[in-house]
Amino acid sequence: MNILVTGGAGYIGSHFVKILLKNNFDVVVLDNLSRGHKKAIPADVPFEEVDLLNYTELEKVFTKHKFDAVVHFAAFAYVGESVENPIKYYENNVVGSFNLLRTCIEANIKKFVFSSTCSLYGNPDKIPISEDQPTNPINPYAQTKLTIENILHDFDSAYNLKSVALRYFNAAGADFEAEIGESHDPEPHLIPIVINTALGKREKVFIFGDDYNTKDGTCIRDYIHINDLGDAHLKALKYLRDGGDSQIINLGTGEGNSVKEIIDVSEKITGLKIKSEITGRRDGDPAVLIADNKKAHKVLGWKPEHNLNDIISSAYNWHKNPRF
């Protein structure tokens, strides 16, 4: 199969490209490099530096290559930024995805894997969160992802486009060979912040609130290794290739860890002291997000293989000597 990976130079996309190549798929990466890194893509992988907002250039890519399926990661994904600048988010994420989907329909592509998010559940009523719980996005970023899921639903009804929307919990960790890893600027995510504090690249970790109704007062998240995420995308592609119907599926481990636990485990794994300070809550942070991942197992035959130790140790190996 020849697969178009949008956002393939980004954190999640580049790890998935590596998995596709290991499994002998043909890959074309499309990325505008606004947030991604060219170095994250092997030099011999066909690369199209195209912005999804540029419909004419996008059409040319689909004329130049013939794709069997599209895996769509390209998006902006900072909650805070989306609150400050919703125009940027609706334009890039919704209009960009719409252009891509329209091009897919014109090119008669019927298989589409979409990078969605657990943040569209908002503040969930029940933990763990299953896919049938109501969606309630509380920021523009989550709204854009839900809008695209809705477009996918309509495009299946009208054009028979089959899709799997994967709602990620907290993607974390890095390639075990440390060739690629997480590199955002600025970095909003907890685990890279904790590791870079251990490495002396930051002074301390600010813990956003210790007055939540959790075991130690800090927020609990379901951290999932980036390669487990990648593996689920591979299984989603195979599922669609084998004639599967459209699905919405959570991707998480079903386990939760608090901010303090992340710091403690990181101190143990690195053997380094990590300074932290309690500060106020961050706006829009739910206390607990943990996935019910039964559907991923049932529909895709997927189970996470890596635990928190793998996540922290692979992130540590990458951040010791990042290539980009």
**What would the DSSP string read from start to end of 32-92?**
--SSS-GGGS-TTS-EE---TT-HHHHHHHHHHS--SEEEE------HHHHHH-HHHHIII
Q: Which residue has the tokens 């599967």?
A: 244
Distances (CA, A) of 1 to 4, 184, 194, 243: 10, 31, 39, 14
Which helix (H) or strand (E) segment holds residue 250: the answer is: strand 247-251
- Answer whether 47's CB lies under 8 Å from 23's CB: no
Q: Which residues contact 169 (CB under 8 A, 6 or more apart)?
A: 118, 221, 222, 223, 224, 250, 251, 252, 253, 289, 290, 291
Shortest distance in whole angstroms from residue 92 CB to ligand UDP: 18
Q: Given the complex with ligand UDP, which of 188 and 301 has the nearer CB atom?
A: 188
Q: Show the binding pattern over residues 265-284: x = contacts ligand UDP (CB under 6 A), - = does not.
A: -----------------x--
Residues in contact with ligand UDP, total (CB under 6 A)?
14
Applying the rule CB under 6 A, the residues between 156 and 215 that interact with ligand UDP are 170, 188-190, 193, 205-208
Shortest distance in whole angstroms from residue 111 CB to ligand UDP: 28
Determine the residue with CB nearest ligand UDP.
219
Applying the rule CB under 6 A, the residues between 238 and 267 that interact with ligand UDP are 259
Q: Given the complex with ligand UDP, which of 146 and 259 has the nearer CB atom?
A: 259
Shortest distance in whole angstroms from residue 1 CB to ligand UDP: 31
- Answer whether 16's CB lies under 8 Å from 233's CB: yes
Which residues belong to the active site?
141
Helices (H), 130-278: 140-159, 190-198, 226-241, 259-270
| Side chain identity, residue 215 | K
Q: Given the complex with ligand UDP, which of 145 and 221 has the nearer CB atom?
A: 221
Applying the rule CB under 6 A, the residues between 278 and 317 that interact with ligand UDP are 282, 285
Binding of residue 219 to ligand UDP (CB under 6 A): yes
Shortest distance in whole angstroms from residue 95 CB to ligand UDP: 24
Q: Given the complex with ligand UDP, which of 162 and 221 has the nearer CB atom?
A: 221
Is residue 286 reached through a cis peptide bond, with omega within 30 degrees of 0 on the bond before it? no
d(CA 218, CA 207): 8
Q: Given the complex with ligand UDP, which of 218 and 270 has the nearer CB atom?
A: 218
Shortest distance in whole angstroms from residue 82 CB to ligand UDP: 12
Residues contributing to the site for ligand UDP (CB under 6 A): 170, 188-190, 193, 205-208, 219, 221, 259, 282, 285
